Structure 1
Amino acid sequence: MNAIQETNFQFPGQTAFYRGKVRDVYSFPEKLIMVASDRISAFDVVLPRPIPFKGQVLNQTASYFLKATADIVPNWLLNVPDPNVSIGLKCEPYAVEMVVRGYLAGHAWRQYRDGHRTLCGVALPDGLRENDRLPTPIITPSTKAHEGHDEDISRDEILRQGIVSEPEYDQLERYALALFARGTAMAAERGLILVDTKYEFGNLNDKVYLIDEVHTPDSSRYFYADTYEGNQEAGQPQKQLSKEFVREWLIENGFQGKTGQTIPTMSDEWVNQISTRYIELFETVTGQDFQPADSTDPSARIETAILRALQD
């Protein structure tokens, strides 16, 4: 299998190119073309080996949920001409990510465990355990970093710095909570719990759009509902579908993205295990069978699909 490490196309009418942690973004006057590569990042660091079919999983999961939430908030997506490609409206991104948490897990738990009782300006009650359900979903925004670590930030600080105006921020909060409610309901239908997720928004002609990915394994964490209560009562780890298992493996091997730390070696077996977990998540959250794209020459396949879409 030929995993997609990166793409380097030059299309007619292209005005710019940007390589993110996972996506290669080709800009046009009014549109963006996002190619979901098979790169994988954790702790805001791109790991050295790509994961076969990961990009396809991300792209198809995102398009599934973008279509399923379009009645809540308009989104950027126009076309999916290839399993790894999305074409959409070119919006001006807001410089914050709206992270919604329904449970105390991941980064939030690590902060809480270390004694913090306020996260992004939101007070948390004492006595919570890892993976406990929060009294109500909370929003813990982060700044959107092009490079390096995204940083936690509070609503008050966002407004004080003028990163987003108050009316716009209030709208982003309403959209984020409505999307989380929809994602929670859709997850429940699949026997899952949507634990936490992040949303990104942009503005086009004074209208807010949902952009980037939605409810994917890179942006979200899911627990299995049938084992949740029993595991909590027994103090056992939750069975989950997310990228957290990759972070846990890195932590166990002495890496958290800090200066001086070395990324551990990723064996073929581990890479294939990650790929299998991503495919499992796609099939579980969407209820659809995963159909692997032709990986003989994925770069040529993607370029052909984009060129065809540009001519339409």
Structure 2
Amino acid sequence: MSETPDFILYAQHGWADSSREITALAQSLASPQTQVVTPNLGFVKTWLRIEPLIEHVEQVAIDMLATYPETPIRIIGHSMGGLIWLEVLNRHPEWWSQVDSLVLVASPVGGSDLGRIFDPLQFGLGIARDLGKNRRTIAETIAAVIPTLTIAGDYDGGSDGTIPVESSKFRHAKFVCIYGLPHATLKNHPAVAAAIRDFWGESTEESELSGHLIQRLRLVAGMTDAHRRDFERSQTLFTFEDGTTMRTWKNPFGVDHVFVASPRGQCLYGGFVGWLHADDLRQALEEIQREYQPQL
């Protein structure tokens, strides 16, 4: 790629795997101007120790930063690949401001239960001890600064067949659970790609103002998240100085919906209140109008 890319997209495969499938996922998400980087760690090496794998990915990132020192970074990690990137970012907080988003797919952030079963006394049996480590504190520290999405699969009523759903959850990250998909399938599936695209749209479009508006609406009594398919039916109520809009819609049953949209018209949030809380929503909208004095 001769010109400066719009993003450096790192996509990292995990344990007992190669980069083939995660590369296909990354390429499906990349624009023609995106530099896709998918280090292949070697199937056998993924069974041994995680430290050499972390060092390998870290060096790849260092080399890319030397070539493109100001290009925004996006990161996707499947399973152990997500853990590797948590460790890399933990070592380089100076990179955080350049990272546009971090996406962990089926990553056992809280520690792999299988890793602990295979190495219950933490003797260091192959990669098991490394996978069983709880990295939730690291993940939460990073996610408090970097927009982070964690995706889990629920294949058997609580796990993707390999990673428990709960081990993927941590504070400050957006959580998405995809039902019916096993662990291996999650590394390259249209539902995963769609979740990442939606998150990228939110993380790149949401401003400080829209984030504050969304927070205010979520505090309204009775507010429930709404499906975004109804966004197109809504009408603009307010237009704010930066172009952000607040839109409303009443469904055929008289249920009030409210939406926040970016200056480019992308739906950032949708919610609704039942009849009992219609006055609470009306009052909140009046308070927002008085505070921000948007155009009607």
Give the TM-score band, short-chain normalised. Answer: under 0.3
Normalised TM-score (structure 1)? 0.24
Normalised TM-score (structure 2)? 0.25
Which structure dedicates a bigger proportion of its chain to strand? 1
Structure with the bigger RCO (C-alpha within 8 Å, sep 6+) is 1
